[in-house]
């Protein structure tokens, strides 16, 4: 017996396909949508469609953008010689929110993960190598690659693979420092983080 609207159930099913959204949360979202004015729902629907119709990938850094090349890649205020390599566009936005980086980016589109069937050929690694080997017309040569991949097995594998590919070129390769988060206590810090913090210690 059907105890709910078929349309509502369809909406719940769609919400449940989103990452990190279970059926309970999906039902709360569907309930929220039901309570919204039609204009608000139409605006949300238009935004979803616009993302598919208007958003593209920058042909230089592969970040999501509304024009190609993207504003970061064409900005005269950014140091195009400094390229920060990230896994996803969301990682790029996290770094941008700090306001502490003024270089360019390269979005890989993920990390090497054999268990998930993701190999180097599935990422934009060859485009990164080409960017270092032969800069686009009018762009300066890349002097440093910052590997800002996640501190995970997949991230470590990806960083090692990229560093090996770029070793023949005259480019500095660095990686984000790892250590103890500000405000945390040593007694609650895992062993791997403590070990890496000790290895990456600096002079004071």
Q: What contacts 26, CB < 8 A, 6 or more positions away? A: 12, 13, 15, 16, 18
Name the phi and psi angles at 87, rounded to 5.
Answer: -80, -45
Q: What is the pLDDT of residues 43-96, one digit of tens each?
A: 999 999 999 999 999 999 999 999 999 999 999 999 999 999 999 999 999 999
Q: What is the pLDDT of residues 145-183, one digit of tens each?
A: 999 999 889 999 999 999 999 999 999 999 988 887 878
How far is C-alpha 159 from the geometric centre of its chain's CA atoms?
Answer: 15
**Taking 80 as the threshold, does the pLDDT of residue 108 lie above it?**
yes
Question: Residues 89, 51: contact at Cβ < 8 Å?
Answer: no
Q: What is the pLDDT of residues 69-78, one digit of tens each?
A: 999 999 999 9
Strands (E), 54-164: 56-57, 64-65, 79-86, 103-107, 144-147
What domains are there in the chain, each with its CATH number? 6-52 (1.10.8.420), 78-175 (3.40.1360.10)
Average of per-residue pLDDT across 26-52: 96
Q: What contacts 27, CB < 8 A, 6 or more positions away? A: 12
């Amino acid at each position: 017996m059907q105890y709910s609207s078929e349309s509502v159930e369809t909406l719940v099913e769609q919400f449940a396909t989103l990452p990190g959204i279970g059926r309970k949360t999906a039902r709360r979202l569907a309930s929220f949508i039901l309570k919204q004015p039609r204009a608000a729902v139409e605006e949300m629907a238009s935004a979803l469609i616009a993302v598919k119709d208007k958003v593209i990938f920058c042909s230089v850094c592969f970040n999501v953008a509304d024009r190609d090349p993207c504003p970061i890649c064409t900005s005269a205020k950014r140091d195009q010689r400094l390229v920060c390599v990230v896994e996803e566009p969301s990682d790029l936005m996290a770094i941008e929110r700090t306001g502490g980086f003024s270089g360019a980016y390269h979005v890989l589109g993920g990390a090497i993960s054999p268990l998930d069937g993701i190999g180097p050929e599935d990422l934009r690694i060859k485009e990164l190598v080409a960017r270092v080997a032969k800069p686009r017309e009018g762009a300066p040569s890349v002097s440093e690659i910052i590997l800002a991949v996640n501190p995970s097995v997949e991230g470590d594998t990806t960083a090692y693979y990229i560093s090996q590919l770029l070793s023949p070129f005259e480019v500095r390769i660095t990686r984000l420092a790892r250590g103890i988060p500000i405000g945390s206590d040593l007694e609650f810090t895992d062993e791997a983080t403590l070990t890496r913090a000790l290895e990456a210690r600096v002079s004071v």
